[in-house]
C-alpha cells in the first residue's frame, strides 16, 4: 500500500484551498488538496511539509491529522491521510497545478475532485462545524 498525505488548507474565513492538476500530469484537470507520497523513512507531517514546499513553494505549519481514507485505482492501493493547515497562501507559486481557489465545502462537490479527496469531505464538514 502506498501512503500519501494531503493538506486541507483553511484561510482565516475557513474557506478551503483546492488546486487543479495541470495538463501533462496524471489525472490532469482534477481538483485536489495538495500533497503527495510519503518517502521511505519519512513521517506523514514531514512528507507533507516537503510536498507543500515542492508544489506551492510554501513552508506551512502542519496541524492535526483530520482522517485517513483508503482507495484503489489502476495504479495501485493507497492510503491518504489529511492534515489541517492554516494559511493565506502569501508567496505561493504553483508548480504542479494550473488553477486554484478558495471554496466553501459544498462548492467542492460541484467541481471535479479526486475521489479520495471527496471521501474526506464528511470528516472536514464535521471538523469545521466544531470550530
pLDDT in tens, 9-59: 999 999 999 999 999 888 899 999 999 999 999 999 999 999 999 999 999
Is pLDDT of 73 > 90?
A: no
Please tell me whether the overall predicted TM-score, pTM, comes out greater than 0.85 for this model.
yes
User: In order of start, what are the domains of the chain with their CATH numbers?
Assistant: 2-129 (3.90.79.10)
Region for residue 97 given its phi and psi (left: phi exceeds 0; alpha: psi -120 to 50; beta: otherwise): beta
Distances (CA, A) of 50 to 11, 90, 94, 108, 112: 20, 17, 14, 25, 26
Amino acid at each position: 500500500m502506498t501512503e500519501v498525505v494531503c493538506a486541507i488548507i483553511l484561510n482565516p474565513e475557513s474557506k478551503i484551498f483546492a488546486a487543479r492538476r495541470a495538463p501533462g500530469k496524471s489525472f490532469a484537470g482534477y481538483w485536489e488538496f495538495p500533497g503527495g507520497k510519503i518517502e521511505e523513512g519519512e513521517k506523514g507531517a514531514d512528507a507533507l511539509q516537503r510536498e507543500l514546499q515542492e508544489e506551492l513553494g510554501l513552508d506551512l505549519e502542519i496541524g492535526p491529522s483530520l482522517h485517513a481514507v483508503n482507495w484503489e485505482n489502476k495504479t495501485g492501493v493507497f492510503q491518504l491521510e489529511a492534515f489541517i493547515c492554516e494559511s493565506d497562501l502569501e508567496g505561493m507559486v504553483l508548480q504542479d497545478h494550473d488553477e486554484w481557489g478558495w471554496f466553501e465545502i459544498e462548492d467542492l462537490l460541484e467541481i471535479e475532485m479526486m475521489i479520495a479527496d471527496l471521501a474526506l469531505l464528511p470528516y472536514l464538514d464535521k471538523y469545521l462545524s466544531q470550530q
